[in-house]
Amino acid sequence: MTLADRISAAQDQNKNKYICKLIMITKDPKLSKKDIDALTEVINSTEHSDGHIPNARLAHALREEGYDVSASAVDRHRGGRCACYRKAGEK
Ligand SMILES: [Zn+2]
């Protein structure tokens, strides 16, 4: 690994440090753009949006696809209380 590769890898790790488990799924290289778009849309939907899926049901669907995510993780992300909303340097 060259130094440039190593720096780039460290930057990638740092990027993922401040995202929660739910958003981590949207970074899964196995997913197609269509999957990621659909997932992102449903994550960002509110109970008034078309096609909205409640937290528990979304978590269940993701677990069926093999992702370890709980309803409370979905709830924290949608409520802005997850790692995604923490600023660098904060714990
Ligand atoms: Zn999040």
Of residues 29, 51, 33, the one with CA closest to residue 42: 51
Helix, strand or coil for residue 53? coil
> Does residue 90 lie within any of the structural domains?
no
The answer to whether residue 91 is domain-embedded is no
Quick one: angle between helices 33-44 and 71-78, nearest 10? Answer: 70
pLDDT at position 53: 96
Q: Which residues contact 47 (CB under 8 A, 6 or more apart)?
A: 54
Helix (H, G, I), strand (E, B) or coil at 90: coil
What are the residues whose beta carbon lies below 5 Å from ligand 1 (ion)? Answer: 20, 23, 77, 82, 84
Query: Tens digits of per-residue pLDDT, 13-71?
Result: 776 678 899 999 999 999 999 999 999 999 999 989 999 999 999 999 999 999 999 99
- CA of 24 from ligand 1 middle (Å) equals 8
Quote the pLDDT of residue 75: 96
Residue 55, domain extent: 3-85
Tell me how far the alpha carbon of residue 34 lies from the centroid of ligand 1, in angstroms. 20
Within-domain flag for 22: yes
- How far does residue 78's CA lie from ligand 1's centre (Å)? 7
pLDDT score of 87: 67
pLDDT at residue 88, rounded to an integer? 55
Residue 16 lies in a domain: yes
